[in-house]
Amino acid sequence: MPKGYWVSVYRNISDPEKLAAYNKLAPLAVKAAGGRVLTRGSRVVAHEAGIAERTVLIEFDSFEQAVAAHESEAYQEALAALSDGVERDFRIVEGID
């Protein structure tokens, strides 16, 4: 079964306090949903139209699990804390195998 991934690339962090509040809640929600953080805020080299800003990659056992984690009450609470504190490109993608 193909794995599922959250890919989040931050374009702008306008409110570090909101991001900090999100960072307290989101990891707990991700872990509870079976997610594994592969990279978070590590070094980035951007090419083409990319932005060398904070990038997060989280792996789930399936695409369906990744979608369900995003829709979970715990993660929705984290999103409410984040609110408009950042601008980011967030995607849920299915792995190849």
What pLDDT shows up at residue 59? Answer: 98
Question: What are the residue ranges spanned by the domains of the chain?
Answer: 4-94
Q: How far is Cα 3 from Cα 16, in angstroms, rounded to an integer?
A: 31
Residue range 9-62, pLDDT digits in tens: 999 999 999 999 999 999 999 999 999 999 998 899 999 988 888 999 999 999
Q: What is the DSSP letter of 91?
A: E
CATH class of 4-94: alpha beta
Whole-structure pTM value: 0.92
DSSP reduced 3-state for 86: strand
